[in-house]
């Protein structure tokens, strides 16, 4: 029984499992990401308020650009962690399909 429990713990620690893929961010990274996303959420509410107040279009667009930049920062943090952990783990396991997955992800991030 102990061997099965150890195997389950080891599999849970990996980003990629057969049944479900999960990330394994530290509590500090999660807190950082949530803080940034809360800020983005506030920026979105602020943009909505600017539109409701008929704020000058260029000012609204400037706020939208700032919000997009903040969201891109979240994506960069996630991508870095993904490359350093999940992708490396999967390549070490012989799963080279992860390279195509990452390329597709980067293409999605770069679309604008």
Domain 27-110 has CATH 1.20.58.1000: yes
pLDDT digits (tens, 9 = 90+) for 20-32: 778 778 899 999 9
Arithmetic mean of pLDDT, 86-106: 95
37-93 pLDDT tens trace: 999 999 999 999 999 999 999 999 999 999 999 999 999 999 999 999 999 999 999
**How many C-beta atoms surround the C-beta of residue 77 within 10 A?**
15
pTM of the predicted model as reported, rounded to 2 decimal places: 0.75
Here the tokens at position 15 are: 């980003």
Read off the tokens for 21.
Answer: 């893929």
Residue 11: the pLDDT is 44
pLDDT at residue 15 in the model: 53
Q: Quick check: 110 pLDDT over 50?
A: yes
Which sequence spans correspond to the domains of the chain?
27-110
CA 78/CA 76 separation, integer angstroms: 5
Calculated CA dihedral for residues 85, 89, 91, 92, nearest 10 degrees? 130
First to last CA, the chain: 52
**Tokens (6 digits) for 12:** 């849970």
Question: How far apart, in whole angstroms, are the C-alpha atoms of residue 67 and residue 89?
Answer: 32
């Amino acid at each position: 029984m102990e061997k099965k429990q150890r195997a389950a713990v080891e599999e849970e620690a990996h980003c990629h499992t057969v049944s479900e893929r999960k990330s394994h961010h530290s509590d500090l990274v999660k807190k950082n990401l949530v803080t940034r996303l809360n800020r983005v959420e506030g920026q979105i509410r602020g943009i909505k308020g600017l539109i409701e107040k008929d704020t000058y279009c260029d000012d609204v667009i400037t706020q939208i650009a700032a919000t997009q930049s903040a969201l891109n920062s979240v994506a960069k943090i996630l991508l870095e962690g993904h490359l350093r952990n999940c992708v490396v783990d999967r390549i070490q396991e012989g799963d080279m399909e992860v390279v195509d997955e990452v390329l597709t992800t980067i293409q999605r991030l770069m679309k604008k």
